[in-house]
Structure 1
Amino acid sequence: MKANLEDIARAAGVSKMTVSRVLRDGSGFSDQTREKVLGIAEQMGYVPNRLAAAFGSDHAGTLVGMCVPRLTSGLFGHVLDGVDRALGRLGYQLIIGASDHSATDEEEWIRQVVSWRPAGLILSGSHHTPGTIDLLRAASMPVVEIWDLTTSPIDMAVGFSHADCGAEMARHVLSRGRRKAGYIGAFARSDVMGQARFEGFRDALAKAGHPLVDAEMLHDAPGFYAGYYGLEMLLSRGNEFDVVYFHNDEMAIGGLAFCRAHGLSVPDDIGIAGWGGMEAASILDKRLTTTVVPTTGIGKAAAEALVARLKGETVQAVNVVSTRLVHGETV
């Protein structure tokens, strides 16, 4: 249960008004009282309710917080749209933050948002700091982890296995007769889910007896130009490749542009594979080999699960969504 002003007042042996003054850094009390109240508040895990201060209510409202890796991500734009549409239909409003693929930044954002007493939270991924996990358990609100499937969620999970996506693509390129594979990724130090796809791809190749030839891990945002110069850097080292798997479709499209600029025929000279099923790939002259992710559906499912939990309905703890491999014409 969440501690409130009355709980702290009772434990400290002072009035609720005194507790309120102390927590608002007011006056009219001794230093000893201040230290005692603050110490008890910390022990009880009290989080100030900013909405209560502003509107005079100590009840959770209709706000739902959602933290995504990047606000500029095309894929997460569709996830956000799915969440926002579903929440709006069910009478809730969305507030959004971005972690920049940093678990520490995610924790700081959650600490700020929890103080507003949201109805619940939707988080991207299943890797969090110990502080985040403790904070969420103390807050006692519905939490949905999306995008990266976990079988032991904090509360609920809606997602898929990124490692399985990578492994599935490895099996596909092998079935097409490709034996000299490379990989180009981004956010190598922080994108846990992208790293899982890479490891799934690499491990499946090795298991089949055709280990990955080389990988280029860029410390950059995954975009068109990153795919272009990533392929340039990978090929510059002199290894032979017959297929390259990219972090996402935008990078794969950048790789296709590099091939066109340098006279490489796709898929005859080299195969190109992406991930995500991004809209930009729909205008290519050749259908991109990729994995389609039901982005809007994930957002909708997450929002509906959270609201169902708020209504006291029975909710499935783990909701596995299906991705779809598109064979395309680029491998």
Structure 2
Amino acid sequence: MTTTAPTSAPTPTDREDIAKRLLRSSAKASFDPVIEVDWDAPLDRDKWAIRPERISLYGTELWERMTEEQRKELSRLEVASIATIGIWFETILMQMLVRHAYDRDPATNHVQYAYTEIADECRHTVMFAKMIGKLGSEAHRLDPVAHNLGRLFKTIAHGPLIFAGALFVEEVLDQIQREAINDEQIEPVVRSVSRIHVVEEARHMRYAREEFQRDWAQRGVVQRAYSRLLLGLVSYYSATRLINPVVYEKVGLDRREAKRAARRNPNWIDTKTWAARKVVATLNQAGAIRGPGKFFWRRAGLLGRPGAPATALGGGAK
């Protein structure tokens, strides 16, 4: 897959009008995961937590040596690891949204929806944390570099970076979860969590996409260049930390060998490209994936492998 030359971005709708519609949608379709998810149901260890072809080691020599039990356990640990990254970035996003709202009029629909999204994200972090425990894992702390860069990013990020960064992480999670919702081979608790997150994140992504396009159009050459570089770094550190290598040890593999195998695995690269394809299209259309920042997108495996078909491992998911 290769990115095409950017074209002019679509014109965003009226800020107050879209926020009003999103507020109405939130009132009609918001969920309390503590109640909506059956946390007391026993875990079905015969099921997967994610489609096997989405697992980082799928198709490798290591995968062939693993037992079916190890593979399914790895699926649970990898979903827990991805959920940990979700918590990490949603915590960053909540802080950025509070800063976004701080200098704006709370009487506007736009700011009221920002507060509504913060409330949604609070519930999502609790939901993900409960799912991690249910899957028999724990929220492994990120490496110090990524952890402290996250702290820096949430402090210095300005308008387009707030919403482009949010859109990236939310779109990647959304693609993986949409695929799981109606898949009978996936563990029911993962499907329930995915269903809630997909419904509520659809509103968040609309809000982020509109605000990114609106803000990006107002930025000058220097600010855009700065944003492209930081956005490339955000995408790199998010995508390359999706799977914490400690999960490999927990299924009896050598951490370094498995990490190296995953990094080189064309199936895993294709999966990341597939999961990021919509946000890559949106940001590339706006001209936000260019220059030095584009190196980090490619390095993270988000722009595809040279010569790989654009539909590699798409699997027919929408």
Q: TM-score, normalised by structure 1?
A: 0.26
Flag the structure with larger Rg: 1
Higher strand fraction (1 or 2): 1
Q: TM-score, normalised by structure 2?
A: 0.27
Bigger RCO of structures 1 and 2 (CA < 8 A, at least 6 apart): 2
